[in-house]
Structure 1
Amino acid sequence: MDSILTLISPSLLAISFAIAAVAGLVKGMVGFAMPMILISGLSSFLSPELALAGLILPALVSNAIQALQQGWRAALASMRRFGLFLGVGLAFLLLSSQLVRVLPANVLLGMIGAPVTLFCVMQLAGWKPHLQHGPSRWLEGVTGAIAGFIGGLSGVWGPPVVAYLTAIDTEKREQVRVQGVIYGLGALALTGAHVASGVLNAQTAPFSALLLIPGLAGMWLGMKVHDRIDQAAFRKITLWVLLLAGLNLMRRALMG
């Protein structure tokens, strides 16, 4: 604990816990958005590198739980179906993760804030992508590349994944499972990549591990109330919160 307090004050640690709990709650209810909420919230008062390190373990464990909810056979089937997406995304994630320590902080904040803001604006405006002729191999590869590149830099790859799965009319239950598989494998790769990049190290890993406690508690609660609320209304509220967070990141990128 003493080593963690050299990185972050007790008051900021408490705020980090609250953000992780909210991120877990949303994750349990809608199946995504934990990394977006964590990176947007934590980056408001922590360095981009520490914020990124903080989300790694909560993302890894929560997505493993989500991916395996319906058993390992269903998860394996999803891996086979979206193999191209996963393979291309992994390659670009490993490539872009090495840029974290090279890019200036304002550039990194902008690259995190821009896709979050764009995704939220499109969703709130009612944009629902649809592919009339079903899945496309080249589009799957391109989307995987975009998701992996953004994910390696920021730990956030949800927006392009959700957009693609929505566009090919993925069944709701399968979509949640596929998101867990894709995010889980991405989180595993992200963990390894940022051990190599130095972002996740002996100093920052305990902070990430501590965020597991409120993150998983929030996820458990979110899964419990999943069927008791109007999910569409809650998702809209979530998008508004994410939009404000994304705009705040863009403000910091442009104004410092």
Structure 2
Amino acid sequence: MDEITLSALALCVAITLLAGFVKGAVGFAMPLIMVSGISSILDPKLAVAAIILPVVATNLAQTFRSGIGPAWDAAREHRVYILLVCLSILLVGQLLPAIDARTMYFVLGVPVTTLAALQLVGWRPRIAPERRRIAEIVGGLISGSLGGFAGTWGPTTVLYLLALDVPKARSVLVQGVIYGAGSFALLATHSVSGILNRGTVPLSALLLVPSLAGIWLGFRVQDRLDQDLFRRLTLGVLVLAGLNLIRRGAGW
């Protein structure tokens, strides 16, 4: 914290407030916005550390907004996906200190941007019931690996839920459950990897307030969105976030 200027800290707070608002409105993208925004002013690995406590807190708020019962039902339905996400985060996250940041951005940005843009122009992928289990396994492994590398497993999770054609309210709930479980895995893995330590925890804790304020405002917007608008906004956020990650990977 001693090495962060007041202006940089103010920008981190503003970025977190925006990220929380977007998450509240569409159910995801908080880590993407925070990592891409904060890493433009601070070290990328410090940006990953900064998101951890806000991600845990906002995912808990999203998960239990509808109560414990619906959250438990969502967890049971998607238990295989959740388990694979958490295991992949724990394993892959140990490699983060040795991973080049620009590679990390490209690995996440290119597929997310491509898949979201294709859906915006009319492509509607569908997962057939008989292929759901294999899609769950592959999607969970990919999402968890990206979570371990970049601190975000939202984009691929959203694409997976869109392919299942999950309704808006259910999608936001399921996302909260998946992200909530994964966020605790992220907290555990980076406590071990050294990314989250006594030097980085204060910044992450400070950003709890703007993250919770932002998600509360976003929830108010989400309640007024119809299904089609929600889907288009979700894809639009995915495209913008993916393009920004590609920009960072290219060093622009």
What is the TM-score normalised by the length of structure 2?
A: 0.90
**1:219, distance to aligned residue in structure 2 (A):** 0.9
Deviations 1:176-228 (A, max 9, x none): 11110000000010010000001011111111111111111111111123334
Query: How much does 1:244 deviate?
Result: 4.4
Moved more, 29-38 or 235-244: 235-244
What's 2:71 paired with?
A: 75
Aligned residue among 165, 172, 189 for 1:176:
172
Tell me if structure 2 keeps the 8 A contact 1:30–1:231: no
CA distance in structure 1 between the partners assigned to 2:247 and 2:21 by the alignment: 26
- 2:153 counterpart residue number: 157
How big is the alpha-carbon RMSD for the aligned residues of Structure 1 and Structure 2? 2.2
Percent identical pairs in the alignment equals 46
**Aligned residue in 2 for 1:110:** 106
Partner in structure 2 of residue 246 of structure 1: 242
* Equivalent residues in 2 for 1:1-256, closer than 5 Å: 4-6=1-3, 8-133=4-129, 136-228=132-224, 236=232, 240=236, 243-255=239-251
Q: Do 1:92 and 1:148's aligned partners in 2 also have CA atoms closer than 8 Å?
A: yes
- Is the alpha carbon distance of 1:72 and 1:233 closer, same or farther for their aligned partners in structure 2, counting shifts above 3 Å? closer
Which whole-Å CA distance do the structure 1 matches of 2:176 and 2:101 have between them? 29
Shifted more, 111-120 versus 166-175: the winner is: 111-120
1:214–1:82 Cα change, 3 Å? same
**Matched-pair contact (CA < 8 Å) for 1:147–1:160:** yes
- Alignment CA distance shift 1:228-1:254 (3 Å): closer
Per the alignment, in what secondary structure is the counterpart of residue 144 of structure 1? helix
Q: How far is 1:136 from its partner?
A: 1.5
User: 1:115-142 CA deviation, whole Å, 9 max, x = no partner?
Assistant: 4433442343333321243662111111
Distance in 2 (CA, whole Å) between partners of 1:166 and 1:101 is 32
2:75 aligned partner, one-letter code:
M
Return the offset for 1:245: 4.7
Assess if the C-alpha contact under 8 Å between 1:150 and 1:156 holds in 2. Answer: yes
1:147 deviates by 0.4
Shift in CA distance, 28/252, structure 1 to aligned 2, threshold 3 Å: closer
In the superposition, the TM-score normalised over structure 1's length comes to 0.89
> Deviation at 1:110?
2.3
Report the count of equivalent residues: 252
Q: Is the 8 A contact 1:41 1:245 kept in 2?
A: no
Question: Residue by residue, what CA displacement relative to the aligned partner does 1:157-181 show, whole Å, maximum 9, x if unpaired?
Answer: 1111111112122232221111100
Look up the SS of the partner of 2:129 in the other structure.
coil
Unaligned runs of 5+ in 1: none
